[in-house]
Homo-oligomer: A and B are copies of this chain.
Amino acid sequence: MSKGRLEAFTDGFFAIIITILVLEIKLPGTDEAIFPMILHLFPKFVAYFISFVIVGVYWVSHHLMMHYIKHTNRTFLWINLFFMMSVSITPFFAAILGEHSTSADAIALYSGLQVIIGLFSNVIWWYATKRGGLLDENVGRLIIRTMWARNLIAPVLYGIAIPVAYSNIVMAFAIFFVVPIVHIAPTLLDFQWVTKLVTKLAAGGQKA
């Protein structure tokens, strides 16, 4: 089964999710002046920004995984669909976060969803690498490990954000901003830093 339609379907899906996020920011019916209204909506823009970037992280990760995956099967389609289902709840939980931005519960709920999405992301990669015939033959252990590491950043950090939210809300939001920075920063250095680190770790792991 070719991977073309799965990619087109998932790309269309991601394009819709990042666009639907902005629909959750609704124009208040009041006669408020423009700039106070925008300031008033500031928490919603923050929730929008965080969600846009994290969905962007998932899309780039999916893009990278599919770069190394050559074939798909029905099980893969279904794992991908459940991954998409978890992503599709993000706009709704982002709306809750934007509406109740000072509520530790809203932050915990949002973080919990991101942990689940991160886990599904790992299930995709786990199935692709464990079941024969899906992965490109030239993909080495280093790439497989780097991708694992990459896919674990978001769920681990969001998992930490859950208890943090109940002691310090500002710190929890700080973690939300750390997630995309960790993903984008090495990208700007063309991943040389991460590649070197993982190479060292992998070398260390092979010695041990």
Contact = CB atoms under 8 A, between A and B. Distances in A.
Number of copies: 4
Contact of A15 (B12, B73, B91): B12
Most buried by B among A18, A37, A59, A74: A74
Contact of A12 (B12, B21, B88): B12
A92 B187 contact: no
Contacts of A19: 13, 16-17, 20, 88
A130 interface: no
A5 B7 contact: yes
Contacts of A69: none
A105 B187 contact: no
Interface string A62-97: 011011000001110110010011001101100110
Interface residues of A, number: 61
Contacts of A7: 5, 8
B33 A73 contact: no
Interface in A15-69: 15-23, 25, 27, 33-35, 37-38, 49, 52-53, 56, 59-60, 63-64, 66-67
A106 interface: yes
Contact of A21 (B10, B75, B88, B109): B88
A5 B11 contact: yes
Contact of A13 (B18, B100, B106): B18
Contacts of A64: 74
A174 interface: no
B89 A34 contact: no
A188 to B, nearest CB: 6
Nearest to A29: B99
Most buried by B among A17, A88, A96: A88
Interface in A94-141: 95-96, 99-100, 103, 105-106, 109
7 contacts: A20-B22, A22-B89, A23-B23, A34-B105, A38-B109, A60-B77, A60-B81
